[in-house]
Amino acid sequence: MVNFNATPNFKFKEIVTEKRECLASTYQFDCYKDKDGQTILIAPFFDIENPQDRIHHISLINLKNKEEVRKLEGHKDRVLTARYFQDPKTKNDYLISADRKHNVIVWDLTNEGKKIYESEFKYDSFIYSVLLIFEESKIFAVVSTLGTGETYVCDLEDKNKKYDLKDTKDLNIYFLTYWWDDKKKEHNIIQCGKNKILISQFRPGTVNSNYNIQTDDKHPYNLGGMVFKNKDQDLLITSATYGLIKVIDLVQKKEIHSFTLEDVFFYSFIRWNDHYILLNDCLQRRILVLDMEDNYKIKSKVLCPEFFFDRFIKKVDHPLYGESILSVGIDWKIKLFVNRNISRPLDEK
């Protein structure tokens, strides 16, 4: 009998795509379920058949048969980030992406990938992090740079409306994440930079930076971080180089847990279920399982020899193999790892 509460234990299953051009300058991809319930992989590519005229696009790939169902074209250079968001009220699906020439596009995936926003930003550094905020009938895009620390919130209906997030200069923002404060009914933008984390409240017309977490030079923050709920707490878990992990209570605005591991390098976090958080140690080629019920202690270490400095991992409900993990590293191959403990019967045949 399958034990659905067992600690996850992963094994390599297959390469979903091995196009060398996959995720050309980024390690980020995303997934969503379309209106027919199909699991769709979102992956940036560029074509190299004609090196003088490379076509940069985003492929939507059906995870079940690994066939491309749609190609989103319009970017002018390599896509650096592509993130999926769903409107919590309408349940419509959207994708926001940015390329190396500072072009940001928002695609309506529910409406056959139609472009609903496109803008070129005059930055001196790459746009590395983006997200979408839904407020009543309006959609706002949040755009930030890695090198200069500039972050803006943009009204998709009015390109002239851009709200500047203060206190971000020279922050070197590595990733953005979002937190909805249900008690205050407020949107919060969380920016993780080189030496601090900045949390800003957003209401249409105003942005207020209200909390920041400093760190020392030995532990600059990197790409890893995630907002999640644990019982009645709204929490942020984030990583820094040299293996520093922090868990922060966003409501109480205080650190509730911190620990450091040796000889590790983290980028991605996954909320696996009510008990476990997964993070990838791309240096040691393994996945660490943290037990939220036991003060975030390491429950197990799962060796994944097929990791090739895989920085970005994502949980996916695979149509054949159940809850699984997708990963991508510097070999540009998107790989599937299935959970030995909850594989569906089809996988056992």
Mean pLDDT, rounded, of the chain: 83
Question: Which residue has better confidence, 1 or 220?
Answer: 220
**Residue 293, Cα to own-chain centre: how many angstroms?**
24
- Predicted local confidence at residue 344, as pLDDT: 45
Mean pLDDT in residue range 152-173: 78
Give per-residue pLDDT as tens, 69-116. Answer: 999 988 888 888 899 999 999 999 999 999 888 899 999 999 999 999
Contact (Cβ atoms closer than 8 angstroms) between residue 33 and residue 39: yes
| First and final C-alpha spacing in the chain | 15
Residue ranges with strand state E in 241-311: 244-249, 254-260, 266-271, 276-281, 286-291, 297-303
- Predicted local confidence at residue 286, as pLDDT: 92
Three-state DSSP at 77 gives coil
- The model's pTM is 0.89
- Predicted local confidence at residue 219, as pLDDT: 63
Give per-residue pLDDT as tens, 235-265. Answer: 999 887 678 888 999 998 888 998 888 888 7
Q: What is the CATH number of domain 17-271?
A: 2.130.10.10
Going by C-beta distance under 8 Å and a sequence separation of 6 or more, which residues neighbour residue 93?
32, 34, 84, 85, 86, 108, 109, 110
Give per-residue pLDDT as tens, 11-39. Answer: 999 998 876 555 544 557 899 999 999 99
